[in-house]
Every structure is written in structure tokens, then in C-alpha cells.
Structure 1
């Protein structure tokens, strides 16, 4: 069953859509089309009836009828019963060059490029998922930090001295070592969420945690609510579980609580996966009053809220919020050391009520029999001393963020970056739907990108690009200059400025 959008909700998304630059029906169709391309109007959403929308907007029904007709002709609205078509993205046939052709163009213009527009010429290099960028490329596909060196080294040195005491055991522990679970529980308790070790399961990273949750709580074709945009690897996990994602679009201010509440009440998704703390990719944070409303809506519908707090420690502007679990014991929380310390640790966890943890433990046995003991011993030291490396890392990130925003302002003034109050990246709105084209061209200029559509469903976010600020300012300058060169090349090639559906395969974090 498709989601449906009430007329007042669509009116709120449209905003002041009348510009007086042409017939009203064309202006209305253009704004709806842009909402679909930007991901603010989710795909497979039934639009309001012609009569309901005309009454809400104060225009004639003929205006709405003609606007819907244009959207159908362009492929942005399906033919439905009556006037309630569903939003969609057009097929590529006749809508733009294929991705393979675009990649061929990118590979072929080395040598045709004029001097001074980018790095030394050479073939464009596409990278398979899970592999690091080739040597010499600045990697902007990953949003992750290098290790907090001295801290990680000390933690493993201490773990090595503790390992002999555990060697007489079997080494299998599906729920995780008690010292690490207790250290994690103590962090939650200190944050105002009373937690015992029995409420914690240790996992091999946040992605592993989400996989266990999905395996336990959903079945094939179940509905899973997601933010739109959202973390690409989470969307991949939901697809792999054969679930149906229900995307709820962001507004310019962040989470659209009326839309979230409406989808939860109407669709009753089995779970809702959210990143309320420094959302990936936008860097926004959900205020406490919205968290309370969200919890109430989920409780009423029987929806399990899954809060990914992997980025919660990266609070660059010191915005005070309570963990989502502080508002309901039914919330399931995902955490990780990947963003605060190092992705190479592969240590994450799930916090939930004890009966739920027991269900997760039982479901995990078909995936693995537990995590590496040595890594968990080291992780326990890192969690207990989590506050030690954070001040310096946060200060570096603030400097990097300021440098990136200034570089974008200077060199790509037509881009519109969203200011992130935390996290590791800036979500940029591009002047045209060209994110995939930029991603394909980027290796030719010495950088690797993650195309905007990787963060959405059905080809949305061609007008967006995530740019991490995890690199030092001098490398960020090189990266932005390369982005500008790629943008200039794209501007000079009109045949590339088309909306494409399928981004190249790249690893993303």
C-alpha cells in the first residue's frame, strides 16, 4: 500500500510556489518535480486529490489537473485511480545518457583537458565496494576519522596483559564480554539513561548491530520507516532484509514531525530507523521536544524506534539533548566506536530492554558466535576513557568544518551547504541535478565522491552531495579545488547535466 500525502502536508512542502514567471499550472508542476528530485517528496507517495489540493492552495481545480498532467507526461507521477497518482522517477530512456556512457566520457577526456584545470591526466578510476580509494585519490566517499593513535595503542597494550586470564575459556560469547558491556552501560547511566550490563549486546560495529535487529524484528515485506536522506549502508541492510522502506523527507529545518507522526499512525511500520544525533548526511540534531513526540507516536502504533547514535559523541556545537532511550524503555539504541575512535576497531553495541537483548542474542547465532576477545578488552579501556581524546578531536573537527565551509563559499558559491552542528560532513545542495555526473568525473580530478542518490531511495538527491570535513584544511583545499574543476568541466558539457538514476558503486561510511 502506497503512502498518501494530505493536501495540507503538500501545501507546507510547496511553500510560496507562485513566482509569476509563467502559467500557474506549470509553476506548480515544476515545484512538485523539484520536491521529488530533492527527495523531500518520497517516491511511491499518493498525492492529494485534485479537488483537495485546489481547495488547500486556493486555486482552480483546472490548475491542479493540468499540473498533474504535466507530471505524468514527464514521468514523475504514475497513472492511478482517479487523480491520485504516485510519485516516481522517470526511466532513463530518453532522459539522459547511460551511466556506462558517462563513465566512458569521463575516462576519455584525459588529454582533452586543458592544463591547469585539475590533477595530472589519467584514466578515471572506479572503485569496487569495500575497497579504499586508489593511491593518490583524496577519498571523500568515506566520512570517518583516522585512529586516535596513542589511545588505541595503549588500550591494546593493556588488553594484551588481560588476555591470559581469559585463555582457559572457550572464547565464544554472543552477548559480549562483561567488562565492556558494563563500561557501555555506565556511559548510558551517566547520560541519564539507567542501564545495566544486561541491557547491552556487543557487536562487530553498528552495521552488524542493525543487521541483528532487522533479523530479529522484521520479516520479508515488513515496513521500515527511514529518514530521507539516510545512511546508505542502513538502506542497504533494509533492502537486504527484503523490507519495504518508508521514506519521510526532511524539511529545511530538519525532521518533519507531522509527517513522521502521520506515516507512523497510517502505515504502522514494524520499526523506524533514525539518526537523531548529528544525522548522516545532514549533521542535524533532533531537539528533545521532537523526541518526546516521536516516542509517543511510536508507542501508540507499536513501532520499535531504532536510534543510531554512532555520531552522538561528535557534538561540535555542544547542543544539549537526551538520548532517545531516555524517553522510552522500548527504544533500541545502536552505538559504536567507529566515528569517535576508529572504524578499524569494528566494535559496536545494542542497548535495549533485557528481554529484547535476549532475542537479539538468539538471532545472532546464525550470523556469528561472538566478537574477537582481544578487541573487546581494548574497547572496554576506550569506552571507560572516552572523554580523554574527544576534546582535541572535536577542536580539530571544528577547524576542519570552518575551513570547508569557507572554501565552498569561495570556490563553489553556487553550492548551498547545510551547516552541521555535529557529525563529520556537510550536505550540499547543487545548482543542478548533477551529483552522479560529478561522482563519475571526480576521479579524473584526483578525488572520490559518494553520489547523492546513495543516500536516498529511487534516484532522489541528484541535487545533493555529501562532503566530509574529516581531512585537515590543506587537504580540504585540494579537494574543493578539484571539486571546482570537476564542476567547471561538467558545466562545459551540457550533455552530462541530466538526471541519472544509478550512481557508481563506491564504499561509503
Structure 2
């Protein structure tokens, strides 16, 4: 067995860690090389040779020192994450998890560490209307002192407000079709956990929100990606039809309004055809509307997906996280009462109730929702225009579709530039980004890079300047090993 150093700490080098790894034991594992490596790394952690909080070496560097493929190391790290032994965050690295702790990287998320430009998450700052809404909610709550504080399906006034919101958009809804959750991701998780079982297939647009892919995989499902081209929605409908015939999916997951990351919007005619097509195949569509209200060019609102088909054909999830603030944990599920009852039973196993304070605040915000949306659109429009101008000026060869809404630019990189390497290099300059492969399945989208425009114009300019310097220095030149999306560390994106 290799000799074990007394204690390997944060920032340990690949060579130091490699000297402690018993590659003979790794090779003896009859299952696979990556599982053997994961087991050996686990041993070093359990024996205390690798310290709690230690940052493990970069995958590619450790792979080179050990003489194995990068995918082997990436898969071993993934195995450690899945067993709670390690945790990864884009731009920070992979860390050993101390017992009782799940965030050894401290304050690096959201740019709380000085000098860090956090562009992993496409999340805007709090709305200026949030503070007054909290104040009004506190005053309203002062009259409910005798209430126990648990409302499993959501406060009645909030469910009624959400129902009115959908009805005004052209999708008649009643309060008993609404379940309040702690954010859209919480809502989506409850839906997927209810309807997807081991081996089930779920159709997804491609690229797509990575959280949906992770949730499907977590319950043993399999994503079936269907490429979406903002310039050719009719082909997307035809391909979804074909995929539904060939794969017998139980669900389809879509973001028809300002999709993450591409910003694509499915036109009304196409969404009607697609809703009818999936209904004909008995596929329930899960419609993610987290970004539906983020229209930046004064476009008329497109009819909600599923309006022309029965309520049983679509389940919609939404939230106030993008229009108001991610810290306001209010989301919802809208569905027919039969489907909603099943989701509510699943959700009740995880959570008794969403914060009453947040729910009362949401009621206040829905009372002036037009102003809320207008305020957010002004902020994001400035960010989008800054990002487009900066990329066009400073990153020749980068191309993108001009998004008419949403939160990010989805850029195609010049030949020879790889997102995974670019993100790794940018981290050393204090810029944190999510690699393009995070938004797909398999080995897709390493030739793409998402740039959120939810930060201030000054921060966006700084981020693009860092990218321009790195690309100008030829940071991504040369061949590299492709990395599958599931081997890329998780992040809130």
C-alpha cells in the first residue's frame, strides 16, 4: 500500500494525493476502475489522511498523475458526492465534506467573497418592491396570532391570487388547482418524485435547465433530449412527436417561455400543436414558467402552454424567484385536482407548510404584480444590452441569438474553445461560471457558454473582460478529453 501522509489539507496537490492512493487496490476492484478509485479516496477520508474541508485536485490534473482518464476521476468524484463524502461547486472545486457540514467552501457562492464575480447562477437581486411587501405582510400577520402557522396546501388568499394570475393570462384556474411550495425547484421536485419511477423516460428540450435533469436522474428516470432551435420551432414539435412515439415517456419537461439557458420562446401556433401532440400520446407535460414573465422588449404575452387542451394534460410550476427574489421561497404547482392531490401527498411527506411570512409577502406582491414585472424587466434589459454589446465588442467569433426575455445569453464558442476549460481557467481569475455541458446530457454543449445578464452592467463588463483576456491568451487551445454532463459538478443555475 502507498504510504499515507500524516494529513492532506486544503489545496493538496495531485502528486501528494496520488502518493497516498493505493493503485493496486484500485485495480483490484472488479466492478470498475472509477469505483475502485472512489473507494480508495473514501478510505483516505475515513482514516483522516485527507482532511475535512480539503479541496481535491482538479480532475484533469489528478487523472494525468495517476495515468487514468479524466472521466475515471470525474466519475469517482461523482461517486463521492452521491454518498455525501464530497461536494462540488462550479468555480470552487470539489471538497471533502466535514461531518455535519455541507458547505466547506464558505462564502464563495453569490460572490460574498471579495473579488469574486459569481456568474454561475442566473439569479437577479431583490426587487425594490420586496421590502415594502414584507412590511405589509408583517402587519397582516400580527392579526393571526392564534393560527398554528401550518397551511399544507398554502394560504387561501395566496392560492386565490395565483389562480387569478393564470385566469387573467387565459388559463382559467381555481384556488383548488394550486399547491404552494417553497420555490419552483421544490414544486418541480415534488412533481417528478410523484410521476417518475425507476426506468421511466422523460422528454426534455435540449439544452435545458440542469436541475430538471438532476431530479429525473435522482429518482431513477432517464431523460430523452430533443434538440430545440429558436429559429425552427416546427421541427422541434415534429421531433417531440417522434420521440414520444419511440420512447413511451411518462412526462415531458418544457420551458416554453424564455427557456434556460437559450432564451427560446415557443410561438403560439407551435405550442398549441405540441400540447395537442403530447396529449394525444398520453404524455403529461410539465411546464416550467419560472421565467415566463421576463419579457424585455414589450412583446405581447404568449398564450400559456396547455390552454387549448384539458387541464389533465399539463402540470405547471412557477415561482416569484426571478421576478422578485430567490430568497423569497414561494412557488407553486398548477394542475387539475386529481393530479394535484397526488403531488400534494408527495409534498406533504417533505414539508408541512411554506413560511407564512413569505406567503403573506407574496400576496402583497401579487397585488401590484404589473409593477413588479416592469421593475424586473428594466433591470434585466439593461443587463442584456450590456452583455450583448460587450460580447460583440470583446469576444469576436462568439455568436448568440438575441434573447427577447429571460436571464442569459447562450453563446456558441469559436472552434477550438471549450467551455469546460474556459470555466476552469476563469475560476483562477475570480470569475465563476457554469460550463455549457451542465445544460445537456451526455457530452453536449461544451462548445457553448452561458453568460447570465442578471448581474449589474459593471459586473457584466468585468466578466466579459476576463473571458476576453483568457480567450486572447489561447487558454483552450489543443485537444482535450470530453466530459459528460453528469461528471460536471452540480450548481444552482
* TM-score, normalization by structure 2: 0.75
* Contact 1:103-1:440 within 8 A present in 2 as well: no
Pair 1:434 & 2:435 matched? no
- Which of 203, 219, 227 is matched with 2:205 structurally? 227
Pair 1:425 & 2:408 matched? yes
Alignment-derived partner of residue 126 in structure 1? 93
Matches within 5 A, 1:72-221: 100-102=59-61, 125-126=92-93, 131-133=109-111, 134-149=113-128, 151-221=129-199
> CA, structure 1 residues 277+103, in 2 after alignment: closer, same or farther (shift >3 Å)?
farther
Alignment-derived partner of residue 114 in structure 1? none
C-alpha distance after superposition, 1:342-385 (max 9, x if no partner): 00001100111122222211121211111111111111111221
Write the distance in 2 (CA, Å) between the matches of 1:155 and 1:496: 53
* Contact 2:119-2:432 within 8 A present in 1 as well: yes
Matches within 5 A, 1:271-282: 271-282=251-262
Alignment-derived partner of residue 70 in structure 2? none
User: Shift of residue 319 of structure 1?
Assistant: 4.4
> CA, structure 1 residues 254+316, in 2 after alignment: closer, same or farther (shift >3 Å)?
farther
Write the distance in 2 (CA, Å) between the matches of 1:465 and 1:358: 40
Matched residue SS, 1:344: coil
Write the distance in 2 (CA, Å) between the matches of 1:448 and 1:138: 6
Alignment-derived partner of residue 308 in structure 2? 327
Pair 1:262 & 2:242 matched? yes
Write the distance in 1 (CA, Å) between the matches of 2:62 and 2:439: 21
Write the distance in 2 (CA, Å) between the matches of 1:176 and 1:302: 29
User: Shift of residue 197 of structure 1?
Assistant: 0.6
User: Shift of residue 497 of structure 1?
Assistant: 5.1
The ranges of structure 1 where at least 4 consecutive aligned residues each deviate by more than 4 angstroms after the TM superposition are 102-105, 127-130, 495-498
Write the distance in 2 (CA, Å) between the matches of 1:354 and 1:496: 54
* TM-score, normalization by structure 1: 0.73
> CA, structure 1 residues 196+321, in 2 after alignment: closer, same or farther (shift >3 Å)?
same
How well do the aligned residues superpose, as a CA RMSD in angstroms? 2.2
User: 460-469 or 166-175, which moves further after superposition?
Assistant: 166-175
User: Shift of residue 301 of structure 1?
Assistant: 1.1
User: Shift of residue 146 of structure 1?
Assistant: 0.3
* Contact 1:265-1:297 within 8 A present in 2 as well: no
Higher relative contact order (CA 8 A, sep 6+): 1
* Contact 1:439-1:504 within 8 A present in 2 as well: no
User: Shift of residue 454 of structure 1?
Assistant: 0.6
Matched residue SS, 2:344: helix
Alignment-derived partner of residue 455 in structure 1? 439
Alignment-derived partner of residue 74 in structure 1? none
Pair 1:481 & 2:465 matched? yes
Matched residue SS, 2:381: helix
* Contact 1:102-1:496 within 8 A present in 2 as well: no
User: Shift of residue 137 of structure 1?
Assistant: 1.1
Write the distance in 2 (CA, Å) between the matches of 1:286 and 1:319: 13
Write the distance in 2 (CA, Å) between the matches of 1:385 and 1:127: 43
> CA, structure 1 residues 497+215, in 2 after alignment: closer, same or farther (shift >3 Å)?
closer
C-alpha distance after superposition, 1:253-285 (max 9, x if no partner): 254111011111222210101000000000010
Number of equivalenced pairs: 392
Unaligned runs of 5+ in 1: 1-97, 106-123
Alignment-derived partner of residue 23 in structure 1? none
* Contact 1:455-1:461 within 8 A present in 2 as well: yes
> CA, structure 1 residues 492+181, in 2 after alignment: closer, same or farther (shift >3 Å)?
closer
C-alpha distance after superposition, 1:189-216 (max 9, x if no partner): 1111111111110000011101111122
Matched residue SS, 1:279: coil
* Contact 1:445-1:482 within 8 A present in 2 as well: yes
Pair 1:464 & 2:448 matched? yes
Write the distance in 2 (CA, Å) between the matches of 1:194 and 1:493: 51
Matched residue SS, 2:410: strand
> CA, structure 1 residues 493+189, in 2 after alignment: closer, same or farther (shift >3 Å)?
closer
Alignment-derived partner of residue 344 in structure 2? 361
Write the distance in 2 (CA, Å) between the matches of 1:445 and 1:333: 40
Alignment-derived partner of residue 27 in structure 1? none
Alignment-derived partner of residue 272 in structure 2? 292
* Contact 1:103-1:441 within 8 A present in 2 as well: no
Matched residue SS, 2:370: coil
Write the distance in 2 (CA, Å) between the matches of 1:104 and 1:338: 39
Alignment-derived partner of residue 283 in structure 2? 303
